[in-house]
Amino acid sequence: MTELVEKIRKDGSYLGNGILKVDSFLNHRLEPKLTLSFGKHFKAMFDELAVKGVNKIITAETSGIAPALATAICYDVAVIYARKKKPVTMLEHYSAKAPSHTKGGITKLMVSKEFLSKDDKVLIIDDFLATGKTLLALANLVKESGAELLGIGCVIEKSFEHGREKLAKLGIPIASLAIIDSLDKNGISVRKG
């Protein structure tokens, strides 16, 4: 996705400790046309990978919601986002724990049993693929529900953190819109996914 790659080169910055700052267009401030194009590109990529029957999109709150919603619009399906804090309205839920690289510590992710079942065919869509631990936690939620996980899509993949290799054991397609090959004080090496 050329537009995303150029946006990362122009507006992304390295903060140290493997952290890429892209909050001007992904994690804090959103550009609607760019965000909607994420969904179109994910749909095209998964169509090319022969992924069929998607009826739910799942992500983790908060930064994954926008690209997940854009993708759900293209599939005309619902989005479920895994909550990090249990609301009083959530009665029974599936849960998994994942470390947060940017916030530090362990985060519990929860999805209501009301919204995910064995009849669902799911795509996970998130903002980043780094170590893969959050995505594995989401995959575990899907597995716990009995739903079928059809694929994982990430807006930005940091290939040097080897998350894709950890996700390979799931045996499903993984699609990234942009791939960061290196990230340091000398710059950002980025290419289309």
Looking at residue 42, which CATH number applies to its domain?
3.40.50.2020
pLDDT of residue 103: 67
Say whether 52 sits in a helix, a strand or coil: coil
Is 189 buried (19+), middle (13-18) or exposed (0-12) by CB count in 10 A?
A: middle
Strands 13-14 and 174-184 turn out to be unpaired
Read off the pLDDT of residues 67-81 as tens digits, 9 standing for 90 and up.
Answer: 999 999 999 999 999
Specify the pLDDT at position 101. Answer: 65
**Global confidence as pTM:** 0.95
Full domain range(s) for residue 28: 2-192
Give the three-class secondary structure for 158. strand
What secondary structure letter does DSSP report for 23? I
DSSP characters for 81-146? EEBSS--TT--SEEEEEEE-TTT-SEEEEEEEGGG--TT-EEEEEEEEESSSHHHHHHHHHHHHHT
Give the closest residue to 111 by CA, choosing from 101, 122, 100, 102. 122
Could you give the number of structural domains in the chain?
1
What are the residue ranges in the chain where pLDDT is below 70? 101-103
Task: Look at residues 67, 143, 73 and name the one whose alpha carbon lies nearest to residue 111.
Answer: 143
pLDDT of residue 86: 87
**Six token digits for residue 8:** 């990362």
pLDDT at 78: 98
Q: CA–CA separation, 1 vs 119, rounded Å? A: 32
Confidence (pLDDT) at 52: 98
pLDDT tens for 19-28 read 999 999 999 9
Confidence (pLDDT) at 49: 97
